Amino acid sequence: MLSKIPLAKLDQLNTLGFTAQASWLVQAEKPEDLPEVFDFASSQALPVFPLGGGSNVIFQGNLKAVVLQQKPHALEWPEIEPDNLILKVSAGYSWQQLVLDTTSKGYFGLENLALIPGQAGAAPIQNIGAYGVELADTLQAVEGYWLPEHGQPAKFDIIAAKNCVLGYRDSRFKHDWKGRFIITALQLQLSKQAEPRLGYADLQQRLEEKQQQPETANLPLPQLIAQVVTELRQSKLPDPAKIGNAGSFFKNPVISQQQADELLKLYPKMPHYPATNGCKLAAAWLIDQCSFKGAKRGSVGVHDQQALVLIHTGGGTAQDLLALAEEITSTVKSRFNILLEREPELVVV
């Protein structure tokens, strides 16, 4: 059964806190409700906009659409937990709760992805990542619903992860599958025997400290790592419940090795990392070098602890935020000849 709310306020359904309203907000109890959702939207002559936790979207005005939210289902654990497990997670399940649930049982795979806001269904779209780990490392398959197209009927399907073309903050769900496929669940491969990813110095150091503390020394290692990642992220990133933000606003740019070498001659301390197609730079460092950290533009600004995060303190608009983003982008381009790319999706329906 569907829950249908007309003229629904979306202010509390996006972490930036921008005022917005949808023609309808429809909440689906289970994947089998999706055909009814699209039938209803068709009867209203409106498109459907799937919305998860609202942590990676920018609402620019009201949405003339049926906004779809999927309700979470409880995780189903086997009576005897194996060392290696394929876990099915419904799209509406809280990502942070998923990390807590899996790591407390001693499963590796998601511990470095702690405190990433949003719901599980959005994770493959962005191929979320943190501290040297991406969703692509554990994702086995995506379950979902194809919309009818070119004479082909709507259908439920399971897509192997290898066919999703997961890249750095990227996937087919953002391109040729956008608006065609609704994710309803993930299948994740987790293990109790995996090697932890501890390539970041601050992560390794804090973990060693916690392993010496009596109150945490006996926790499962994945849970301990998740706690450390949570503390690190909390020390650097604002809480969306207190300060409106969408997390990292810009992607870390990947440039050619030749361009990186030229920049390193001018900026020897510039953070840089090997990447598949060249060299990855830290967008936060580029923005900080342009003196934007802590900058304020009325009700929007740049967080004073993390230059990669743009904030909204209330009463502002998407236009205000986008103007600041354009100011940052053009300044970085002028100084470094690097074009920053926005992470959150601008929603205009």
Tokens linked to 54: 């609202």
**Backbone dihedral region of 61: left (phi > 0), alpha (psi from -120 to 50 degrees) or beta?**
left
Q: How far does the chain reach from its first CA to its final CA, in angstroms?
A: 25
Contact 266, 336 (CB under 8 A): no
In 234-298 the beta strands, taken as DSSP E runs, fall at: 244-248, 254-255, 272-275, 278-281, 296-297
Residues tagged active-site:
169, 248, 343
- Residue 39: enclosing H or E segment and its boundaries? helix 34-43
Contact 29, 68 (CB under 8 A): no
C-alpha distances (whole Å) from 276 to each of 25, 232, 240, 258, 272 are: 41, 27, 32, 14, 13
Tokens linked to 268: 């020897």
In the chain the beta strands, taken as DSSP E runs, fall at: 3-9, 21-28, 48-50, 57-59, 63-70, 84-90, 129-130, 133-134, 139-146, 155-160, 181-191, 244-248, 254-255, 272-275, 278-281, 296-297, 300-302, 309-312, 345-347
In 303-341 the beta strands, taken as DSSP E runs, fall at: 309-312
